[in-house]
Structure 1
Amino acid sequence: MAGDLLDNQGRGDVRWSLPPIHPEGRKYGLIALAVSLFFLIGLDWEIVGWPLLALSAGIFAFFRDPERVVPQDDSAILSPADGQVTMIAEVEPPRELVIDDGSGIGGLSSDTVTRVSIFLSVFDVHINRTPIAGTVQRVVYIPGSFADAGLDKASEENERQHILVERSDGTKVGFTQIAGLVARRIVPFVKPGDTLGAGQRVGLIRFGSRVDVYLPAGTGSDVLLGQRVVAGETVIGRVGARKLLEGVSQ
């Protein structure tokens, strides 16, 4: 049950179950299912019906929305997405998260920070979650192209949406949902002024995409290139902590 307290002492009650399907995807899955049944039962065209039936199952799987056990640790910055870490770089934050937007609430500093880029394939869960608890200060949508989300230039050229969250102690974390070759729509669940708990759902990107996270100044990555991360569960950094990590691919 959502909200249950689970810990590393074995306390809690966990049972395996099929993950629910997010409402945003149910209509697409049901449409594909109805069309497949029409070809299978109505027209007896199995050569078309069976592939469409498999497609409907794939759509339902794409929009699955599993529960996550979110670490309750104020220093932790959580992964906002499921996927693979494909880039870790020192960069300047996006202009839209830095400039004065007229709200009277400051954005990120223009100083160089660590950016962790997470690529989501069509097989990953595409529900995105907030890396920290706090208040949503900005949600900025930017139209753009649909180049390969794995390219570095996608951060500046592709259709994207920036989100800035600020904790009660003033710590700010910005992250960006980026559309890709297949992804064609970013769906937000939050707006400026919303108060979020760590790991709370903030939106989704329909079909293969990428999410960039801009860690606070002085914070290094706790994940490695090539590592698989889980939204709302994997700690990708700890506020103010920077250490050298090494990994071996095997």
Structure 2
Amino acid sequence: MFHKEGYKIMGWAALLLITINVVSYSLINTYWIKFAILVATIILFFLIIQFFRNPKRNTVLNDAHVVAPVDGKVVAIEEVEEKEYFKDKRLQVSIFMSPINVHVTRHPIGGKVKYSKYHPGKFLVAWHPKSSEENERTTVVVANEKAGEVLYRQIAGAMAKRIVNYAEVGNEVIQGSDSGFIKFGSRVDVFLPLNTPISVKLNQKVKGGLSVIAKIDE
């Protein structure tokens, strides 16, 4: 199953790669070169389509649990100053996505969308200290009675050139459901109250919609 954001890119990629092979078979007489081009284009197309895969995830719904919004590796668990919405200190959990990870963003909790804003910006590497504030990004806040307000931020990286965000203020969303997509990137930060018990460790790999990263009721 593929994400809807990938269909156009996959279609154009297929057309381009087919054209390359047709031209190579017409102009190149050496068989092994033509075969090498065919193999290379098949591998490239496979890499493109795997980037847009969208596996079904059966999230165990719990209003007090925060699930990972994306697949990837936990690269930061730290106290920070959240300057955009809360304007106070929060516990930040950052998840980095490599090019081979699923890049679908999922709602970490269910509830009502209280805030959703897109920010144009730079394309610093995802681990840069200022990427959270200076890169292209979207900030979304979802709230429910048990978890309170949870903020998560999609952050573009050096390769990511477009962030897609479906969250709209006022909408009721289901935990683990599709919240957006980052094309060829990069990182998602989750901001929680300072006393929140964290259920993951640094360098731990997590699955979006499945891995519980925090339990706010404990």
Q: CA deviation at 1:240?
A: 4.3
Q: How far apart, in 2, do the equivalents of 1:158 and 1:223 lie?
A: 26
Letter of the 1:65 partner, please give it: N
User: Relative to structure 1, is the Cα distance of residues 210 and 96 closer, same or farther in structure 2, using a 3 angstrom cutoff?
Assistant: same
- Which residue number in structure 1 is paired with residue 44 of structure 2? 55
- Is 1:97 the counterpart of 2:85 in the alignment? yes
- Which residue number in structure 1 is paired with residue 53 of structure 2? 64
- Which residue number in structure 2 is paired with residue 181 of structure 1? 158
Query: Could you list the per-position Cα deviations for residues 8-52 of structure 1 after superposition, in whole angstroms to 9, with x for gaps in the alignment?
Result: xxxxxxxxxxxx011210111121112212222354163544323
Q: How far apart, in 2, do the equivalents of 1:199 and 1:58 lie?
A: 25
Query: Could you list the per-position Cα deviations for residues 123-145 of structure 1 after superposition, in whole angstroms to 9, with x for gaps in the alignment?
Result: 00000001100011111111111
Q: CA deviation at 1:115?
A: 0.3
Mapping of 1:86-125 within 5 angstroms?
A: 86-93=75-82, 95-98=83-86, 110-125=87-102
Letter of the 1:26 partner, please give it: Y
Quote the RMSD (CA, aligned, Å): 1.6
Q: How far apart, in 2, do the equivalents of 1:170 and 1:35 lie?
A: 47
The counterpart of 2:167, out of the listed 190, 198, 220, is: 190
Query: Could you list the per-position Cα deviations for residues 160-199 of structure 1 after superposition, in whole angstroms to 9, with x for gaps in the alignment?
Result: 1100001145711001000001001001122111110111
- Which residue number in structure 2 is paired with residue 162 of structure 1? 139
The 3-state SS of whatever aligns with 2:50 is helix
Query: Could you list the per-position Cα deviations for residues 109-130 of structure 1 after superposition, in whole angstroms to 9, with x for gaps in the alignment?
Result: x332210000001100000001
Aligned residue pairs total 210
- Is 1:75 the counterpart of 2:64 in the alignment? yes
The counterpart of 1:238, out of the listed 209, 215, 218, is: 215
Q: CA deviation at 1:218?
A: 2.0
Q: CA deviation at 1:149?
A: 0.2
Task: List runs of 5+ in structure 1 lacking aligned partners.
Answer: 1-19, 99-109, 242-250
- The structure whose residues are more often strand, as a share, is 2
- Which residue number in structure 1 is paired with residue 116 of structure 2? 139
Query: Could you list the per-position Cα deviations for residues 33-75 of structure 1 after superposition, in whole angstroms to 9, with x for gaps in the alignment?
Result: 1221222235416354432332222111100000112122232
- Is 1:227 the counterpart of 2:216 in the alignment? no
Letter of the 2:158 partner, please give it: L
Task: List runs of 5+ in structure 2 lacking aligned partners.
Answer: 29-33
Letter of the 1:154 partner, please give it: S
8 A contact 2:64–2:146 mirrored in 1: no
If the length of structure 1 is used for normalisation, what is the TM-score?
A: 0.79
Letter of the 1:97 partner, please give it: Y
Q: CA deviation at 1:208?
A: 2.4
Q: How far apart, in 1, do the equivalents of 2:99 and 2:173 lie?
A: 27
Q: CA deviation at 1:96?
A: 2.2
- Provide runs of 4+ in structure 1 moved above 4 Å: none
- Which residue number in structure 2 is paired with residue 38 of structure 1? 19
Q: How far apart, in 2, do the equivalents of 1:180 and 1:240 lie?
A: 33
